[in-house]
Amino acid sequence: MINIVIVDDHAILRRGLSQIISESGDMKVVGEAETSAQALRLIRETPCDVMLLDITLPDRNGIETLKLVRKEMPKLQVLMLSMHPENQYALRALKAGAAGYLTKQSAAAQLVSAIRQVNSGRKYVTPAVAEELANSFDRDNERPAHELLSMREYQTMCMIASGKSLTEMAAQMSLSVKTVSVYRARVLEKMHLKNNAEITHYAIKNQLVE
């Protein structure tokens, strides 16, 4: 039996994922968490094989949580779940140690096979992500500007390009407006851009936002 923990702050989604897992016959949900802090406590107290981890959590983003989980439980297979398109976060998640990446839209159809695959020690990636991974090796010497950003800086860039205000970004990332302003300044500096309009243009041109 594959023991699974689900980390997502939406109860309805957790319930839906649990239902899919319960019907598989060879896996079960042994714990749930809504925040990064709860997730870390959970894996210390509950033996598990696979974690389903949301990219967006209230207290800490999923990539940072993933790194902490990998540090504490290196053998735990972490399958990232996200509402964001694969081209936004999949490569970052895999490079940070995720065993696979699923969009929430595709989870219903692919979840069970993805869990079995990562539990067996193999990576789970869609053909689109596999192609992007292959291309990333060719781009190492000519990396696009946004790949130089930290996770927080990248989040800030995507939110700016999506039209969110500083206040909205601060609330979503559980940070102060001042801190978000610092991340925005770093984005402008690292990417040699002048303002939000140029950030938005860059993000759209590189298909980082829908």
pLDDT digits (tens, 9 = 90+) for 71-122: 999 999 999 988 876 667 888 888 889 999 988 887 788 899 999 999 999 9
The number of domains in the chain is 2
Residues 169, 131 share a domain:
no
Asked if residue 183 and residue 118 are part of one domain, the reply reads: no
For residue 104, give Cα distances in angstroms to 88, 150, 193.
14, 24, 32
The pair of three-digit structure tokens given for residue 75, joined into one six-digit string = 């053998």
Indicate whether 150 and 113 sit together in one domain.
no
Q: pLDDT exceeding 70 applies to what percent of the chain? A: 92
Query: pLDDT averaged over the chain?
Result: 89
- 125-161 pLDDT per residue, tens: 877 777 777 666 655 555 678 888 988 999 999 999 9
Residues 6+ apart with CB under 8 A from 104: 13, 81, 82, 83
Domain of residue 158: give its range: 143-205
Is the pLDDT at 31 greater than 70? The verdict is yes
pLDDT at 138: 58
Cα-to-chain-centroid distance, residue 169: 17
**pLDDT on residue 90:** 83
Report if residue 210 sits inside a domain: no
| Side-by-side strand order, sheet with 77-82 | 27-33, 2-7, 50-54, 77-82, 100-103
pLDDT above 80 (res 172): yes
CATH classification at residue 173: 1.10.10.10
Which pLDDT belongs to residue 47? 94
Q: Are residues 111 and 164 in the same domain?
A: no
Q: Is residue 50 located within the same domain as residue 103? A: yes
Q: In terms of domains, do 161 and 76 share one?
A: no
